[in-house]
């Protein structure tokens, strides 16, 4: 696959399903990739051969830069906005409803929706350089869709700090201390060793026990099917504002 073309690749071997996404703009997430990610996670959840999912992104730099600015500026109605931001809702809900544990391999920085993906994963293993930022407020929106996942994983205090100080990076160590990352390593080989170790262990574990545990871990989120869609509508309305148009234009001109 060309390293300049966006893709979502899925492979299952030895009861481990690896789902890798890539976009040449720092692994940003356009609607097509969001739709494919949700579909592949749902499919892996139903695949008898699969017992654990590893979610990763391509390249050696950013894990995920969040929503595609190119698509954000093209949204021309609240309905289109709802449709776009519902893509994030679908991915988070796909992870939530999947009976398999999802391990996230975080090799670089996470912004906006990228933080949401890391938070939605059941277990995230990160490289020491994987700083995080919820940048939505800086462009006139807000982390409405990913917010429940981030708050669930990190607590209200950390989520509030990230959401309000939208222009500042928080270190990987800060993210680890606040529960976003379960393990952090200083080189990518150690990250991959840790991801592989856990994936192999879970691939040899009881599917029924893991499914029951996942239900316990996600208790209290049963309303997210509705909640995240409602949150997507808020973002879909705000993205139409002149503030957001100007903020994104200014960012892209840098």
In a domain, 228, yes or no: no
In a domain, 218, yes or no: no
In a domain, 125, yes or no: yes
- Residue 122's domain comprises 7-191+199-203
Q: Give the pLDDT score at 3.
A: 54
Q: Give the number of domains in the chain.
A: 1
Q: What tens digit of pLDDT does each residue of 28-57 get? A: 999 999 999 999 999 999 999 999 999 999
Give the predicted TM-score (pTM) of the model. 0.96
In a domain, 227, yes or no: no
In 3D space, the residue among 227, 245, 128, 239 whose CA is nearest the CA of residue 181 turns out to be 128
Residue 1 binned pLDDT confidence (cut-offs 50, 70, 90): very low
In a domain, 238, yes or no: no
Structure-derived torsion over alpha carbons of residues 167, 141, 21, 90, reported in degrees to the nearest 10:
140
Say if CB 50 and CB 100 are below 8 A apart: yes
Q: What tens digit of pLDDT does each residue of 111-170 get? A: 999 999 999 999 999 999 999 999 999 999 999 999 999 999 999 999 999 999 999 999
In a domain, 250, yes or no: no
In a domain, 209, yes or no: no
In a domain, 85, yes or no: yes
Q: Give the pLDDT score at 251.
A: 82
In 3D space, the residue among 212, 30, 219 whose CA is nearest the CA of residue 113 turns out to be 30
Which CATH number belongs to the domain containing residue 126 in this structure? 3.90.226.10
The label of the residue with tokens 């409803």 reads: 97
How far apart CA 114 and CA 106 sit, in angstroms, is 10
């Amino acid at each position: 696959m060309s390293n300049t073309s966006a893709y979502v690749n899925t492979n299952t071997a030895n009861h481990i399903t690896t789902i890798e996404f890539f976009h040449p703009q720092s692994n940003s997430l356009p609607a097509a990739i969001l739709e494919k990610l949700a579909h592949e996670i749902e499919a892996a959840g139903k695949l008898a051969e699969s017992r654990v999912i590893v979610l990763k992104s391509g390249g050696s730099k950013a894990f995920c830069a969040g929503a595609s600015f190119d698509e954000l500026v093209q949204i021309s109605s609240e309905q289109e906005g709802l449709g776009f931001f519902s893509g994030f809702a679908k991915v988070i809900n796909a992870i939530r409803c999947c009976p398999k544990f999802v391990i996230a391999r975080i090799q670089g920085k996470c912004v906006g929706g990228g933080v949401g993906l890391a938070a939605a994963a059941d277990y995230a293993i990160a490289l020491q350089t994987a700083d995080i930022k919820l940048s939505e407020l800086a462009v006139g929106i807000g982390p409405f869709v990913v917010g429940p996942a981030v708050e669930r994983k990190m607590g209200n205090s950390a989520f509030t700090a990230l959401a309000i100080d939208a222009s500042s990076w928080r270190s990987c160590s800060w993210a680890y201390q606040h529960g976003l990352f379960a393990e952090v390593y200083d080189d990518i080989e150690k990250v991959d060793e840790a991801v592989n170790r856990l994936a192999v262990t879970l691939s040899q574990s009881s599917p029924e026990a893991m499914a029951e545990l996942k239900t316990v871990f996600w208790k209290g989120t049963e309303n997210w099917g509705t909640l995240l869609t409602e949150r997507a509508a808020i973002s879909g309305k705000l993205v139409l504002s002149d503030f957001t148009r100007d903020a994104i234009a200014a960012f892209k001109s840098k």
